[in-house]
């Protein structure tokens, strides 16, 4: 994964996007977001999946699941249950 400072993004966009792969967007060395290239033929399916994820998160929060629990469960720095 490549890391790019957000301020550098406009100048580097074309080459970095065309090369594919995930890009971590950083500000002052801290990750603020990610750019994930999408194959145009997959874009509609990915959009539906993201909308379904959004609805699932909203429902979980409405049913008492806290943002802290969600953040803990989605912490990708921790091993998955089957990797422990």
Q: Where are the domains positioned within the chain?
A: 1-37, 39-84
Q: For residue 35, give every residue at least 6 positions away whose Cβ sits within 8 Å of its Cβ, in sequence order, or none.
A: 17, 22, 23, 25
Please tell me the distance from the alpha carbon of residue 62 to that of residue 56, in angstroms, as a whole number: 10
Assigned CATH for 1-37: 3.40.1620
Report the chain's mean pLDDT, rounded to a whole number: 82
Nearest of 54, 19, 12, 20 to residue 38 by alpha carbon? 20
- 3-class secondary-structure state, position 30: strand
Check pLDDT > 80 for residue 34. Answer: yes
Q: pLDDT tens across 68-80, in order?
A: 888 888 887 777 6
Query: Looking at residues 42-51, what average pLDDT do you find?
Result: 91
């Amino acid at each position: 994964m490549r890391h790019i400072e957000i301020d550098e993004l406009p100048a580097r966009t074309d080459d970095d996007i065309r090369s594919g792969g995930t890009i971590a967007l950083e500000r002052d060395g801290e990750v603020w977001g990610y750019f994930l290239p999408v194959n145009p033929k997959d874009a509609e399916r990915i959009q539906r999946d993201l909308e379904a994820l959004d609805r699932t998160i909203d429902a979980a929060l409405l049913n008492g699941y806290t943002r802290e629990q969600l953040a803990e469960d989605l912490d990708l720095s921790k091993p998955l249950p089957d990797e422990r």
